[in-house]
Amino acid sequence: MNGSEINSNDNLPSAEILNCPKCRVALRVTGFLLTKNIACRKCHGIFNYSSGNLRLIKIFRKEKYNHIPIGSKGTIDGKKYEVVGFANYREAHTPYAWDEYILFSPIHGYSFLSVYEGHWNYLEQIILRPKQIVNDVNLNGDTYRIFNRYKQKTDYALGEFPWDITENSNTITEYINPPYIIVHDKGTNEETWLLGKYITPEEIKEAFNLQTHLPEQTGIGSTQLHASSASLSKVKQLTLYVVLSITVLQIILSFTAKEKVVFKDQLNIPANKTAGIVSPPFILENTLSGKSNLQVELIAPVHNSWMEADITLVNDNTGEEFHFEQGVEYYSGVEDGESWSEGQNYTDLTLSYIPEGKYHLNIFPATPDEGVGYFQLTLTQDVSMLSNFFIILLLALIFPVALWISVSSYEAQRWMNSDFSPYNTE
Amino acid sequence: MFKLRNYLIILAILLSIYLYAALTGWKFFGSNSEKWSPKQEKGHHK
């Protein structure tokens, strides 16, 4: 018989039936020679099973509810199992309790389903011993970080077990690499390594065809994956490519920008404050899109004063006007023995989306200071826009940064249940 | 839930906007009708 025959024929070997020596209820033995302990569902007695004989070793006083009934059959990872045992454990000297279901397959042996706060792990024994690296372990090149170490106490058991269920001296160590977990069960004379994987309640219900409700999930499971954690490494890589691409693109655009000075003149401020200045005409050259930006620089020799220019850029062909104001101010002095200065005599602004064509400027300068007699105006067509680069970069980074924060806070929450948290700096 | 495909679409849109702005001289958050008035900060120190 092989595994595929078991799967396809839906047959598992029939169990041996024994009577409980205490209450006479029928007890099933599915594991035969592998079975070490049997727990009675009626009298809650734990019996040592050996050569077909049962010897009472303990009675549990409290009964616990098992969501998957003993004898349920189901398929996990393509392996057909029968639920042969159920145990409720507690971390010694703490209130932390969890359930474990013992699954048996005559082909694949024993496997386990453990559930803590509604989070399930499916565990199988592994022969390969993971490599210990300080506190952590490595299996097949993957590092599993230590998550928990404790001694467990059995509070309740039902069904059959391939080990002494009343033995409470073993040290259990859990190592995680979500969604995987390695569990090391070390006793005085023997040790067992289990490799597990997070399994959703929906998968459990489907595997065992359960109609009942499974325990509600609370918190984050030790091996539960963030819904988008798989995307994070791809997003990190993608973000790097995007940042590099936009940077390279910006460098190319900076080098290819025409930066053509179309108007530069030193203009005198009219004595008559209401008088304006009309500039000579100038041309905004043809571009690929027919539009370009236009940088306007204003320099004025202000000192403890200001100078303002009310400027209208007029398209001589269409009559379209762009009206804006520019100004400079600069102040300096000495106060309480310390010199200070504020402002500057230079300013610039960039007009967007200006159509090509013939233009002139209507300028109305204003200053309260008679000493500021002139100003210099420079218009440059098609300048590189660094602010656009930073805005696009910022927008491109919002998504990955938000994802990174979400995954990081999720991980921090996961490790709150651990004594070995890397987030604990105390 | 975060979808990688959505992020790729967003990146493609952002890149398109960036290139369009570079071609047309569109400055993000720029204004063609800027206003100015003196702060007269000298007064603060007197």
pTM (predicted TM-score): 0.75
SS3 A39: strand
Closest chain A C-alpha to B45 CA, distance in angstroms = 7
Residue B38's pLDDT is what?
87
| pLDDT of A6 strictly over 70 | no
Name the residue facing B30 among A246, A253, A352 (closest C-beta). Answer: A352
pLDDT per residue as tens digits for the range B1-46: 667 888 889 999 999 999 999 999 999 998 899 999 888 655 444 4
B14 and A349 within 8 Å at the Cβ level: the answer is no
Q: Which residue has the higher pLDDT, A320 or A59?
A: A320
pLDDT per residue as tens digits for the range A25-34: 888 888 777 8
pLDDT per residue as tens digits for the range A69-99: 999 999 999 999 999 999 999 998 888 999 9
Q: How confident is the model at residue A12 (pLDDT cuts 50, 70, 90)?
A: low
Pairing mode, if any, of strands A53-59 and A45-50?
antiparallel
Q: What number of other Cβ atoms are within 10 A of residue A405's Cβ?
A: 10
ipTM of the assembly?
A: 0.87
Classified by CATH at the fold level, domain A258-383 comes out as: Jelly Rolls (2.60.120)
Our CA dihedral for A396, A402, A408, A412, rounded to 10 degrees, sits at 170
Question: Who contacts A299 (Cβ-Cβ below 8 Å, separation ≥6)?
Answer: A328, A345, A346, A375, A376, A378
Give the whole-angstrom CA distance, residue A196 versus residue A309: 74
Residue of B nearest to A242 (CA): B11
Q: How confident is the model at residue A311 (pLDDT cuts 50, 70, 90)?
A: very high
Across the range A343-363, mean pLDDT stands at: 96
A395 and B14 within 8 Å at the Cβ level: the answer is yes
Task: Delimit the domains of chain A by residue range.
Answer: 3-225, 258-383
Give residue ranges of B with CB < 8 Å to any A CB.
1-4, 7-8, 10-11, 14-15, 17-19, 21-42, 45
Q: What are the chain B neighbours of A308 within 8 Å (beta carbons)?
A: 36-38
Q: What are the chain B neighbours of A233 within 8 Å (beta carbons)?
A: none
* Mean pLDDT over each residue of chain A, to the nearest integer: 90
